[in-house]
Amino acid sequence: MICSTLRRVGHMHIYLVRKASSVSKGHHQQTVGSRPAASEFAARGASGNVLELLGKSYPQDNYSNLSRKVLSRVGRNLHNQQHHPLWLIKERVKEHFYQQYVGRFGTPLFSVYDDLSPVVTIWQNFDSLLIPADHPSRKKGDNYYVNGTHMLRAHTSAHQWDLLHAGLDAFLVVGDVYRRDQIDSQHYPVFHQLEGVRLFSKHELFTGIKDGESLQLFEQSSRSAYKQETHTMEATKLVEFDLKQTLTRLVTHLFGDGLDIRWVDCYFPFTHPSFEMEINFHGEWLEVLGCGVMEQQLVNSAGAQDQIGWAFGLGLERLAMILYDIPDIRLFWSEDERFLKQFRVSDINQKVKFQPLSKYPAVINDISFWLPSENYTENDFYDLVRTIGGDLVEKVELIDKFEHPKLTVLNLCWMVG
């Protein structure tokens, strides 16, 4: 154990390096004290007060908080790299929707968008989804802001309004999303989501329903735990049924028949009622996705006021870790051929079980430092560690905290390994 006290965080040059363990499989082994590769320090396009990102220029301001580590991940698009495990999950979901849901002319009902830019406006990411201005999900400490008007999307739902406004009524969106987060095997500041949306007209929803011609989509009543104030109970229940049936078919396609599924009531600002799906996998209940009936205010604002619909979102890493028995989320960024070749299969539905690459023991260090008690979040330290130590650092855990009774400073002691 090593414990060092650093008076000024700005002068930290800690090279957190460890032997190749379960996370470092995709890297060349580094020696203790060696500097990370230059690519880890390269903030792509950062020039003065302007950031060049994906071919566009963004002025920097006091809201800008992109780390060089995160910038190095923008544009990698793991979900579009053939035979990558995330690509396999995406293709399996696409195949299922293409085969199961066909339009009037024999073409797929759902269109797929998997190359939309991750740089979105703050309005797209929050306001278009009815997320209040004071909602905690907007915090700078939890998001990556390009500047005061743009950010790296925190969810693929950021594209929902635009696609609805363009006249689409059934689509899937796949992409990388960005959230500042802790350091361990289950969390990473970049992960990948798949979003699904479907809208129904009155005719589409009530066709085949007894006395369906007399039923209505909308009414003016009061909001309850079961429906929105503008939806009829009949319309809400039919949309909810279609949503749950669609998702049950999807996870059955992915995991196989005989799967135990349960639905848990939850809350999202842009759906009501809202649910989480949990599956019983190897005797353990696991949450795999969130969904719900779309807020009609959102649908109306996008110009589809005569329709009602559902939306769902799932994490590709979450599914891949369960299906392929991948123990660490950072492995998805590995470029080690021993990892990648395991997923080069002739059939995307072929079963794959990840084989570990290394079993070196972990190296653990304690790091202690003083810093001002104001304008600090734990995610600031996580970003610093990721920028310098890269994915060689498996876990960072706060083990002690001391606030000086007279000075406005904190002393934090972290375990880094």
Domains of the chain: 50-343 (3.30.930.10), 365-416 (3.30.70.380)
Write down the pLDDT at residue 73: 96
Query: Which whole number is the average pLDDT over 93-98?
Result: 98
Q: For the full predicted model, state whether its pTM sits above 0.85.
A: no
CA dihedral 154, 415, 360, 79 (to 10 degrees): 0
Interval 330-388: pLDDT, tens: 999 999 999 999 999 999 999 999 998 765 555 667 777 666 666 667 777 777 777 77
Write down the pLDDT at residue 165: 98
Counting residues of the chain whose pLDDT is more than 70, the rounded percentage is 80
Phi, psi (degrees; rounded to nearest 5) at 396: -125, 125
As beta bridge partners, residue 400 has 413
Pair 22, 327: CB distance under 8 Å: yes
Tokens of 219: 């009414």
Interval 40-78: pLDDT, tens: 333 444 445 999 999 999 999 999 999 999 999 999 999
User: Picking from 42-56, 60-74, 104-118, 300-314, which range would have the lowest pLDDT averaged per residue?
Assistant: 42-56
* pLDDT of 277 over the 50 cut: yes
CB-hemisphere CA count at 13 Å for 314? Answer: 24
Name the residue with tokens 């908080």: 65
Query: Which whole number is the average pLDDT over 196-204?
Result: 97
Query: Which whole number is the average pLDDT over 206-228?
Result: 95
> How far does Cα 281 stand from its chain's mean position?
22
* pLDDT of 10 over the 70 cut: no
Write down the pLDDT at residue 60: 96
Write down the pLDDT at residue 333: 95
> How far does Cα 384 stand from its chain's mean position?
21
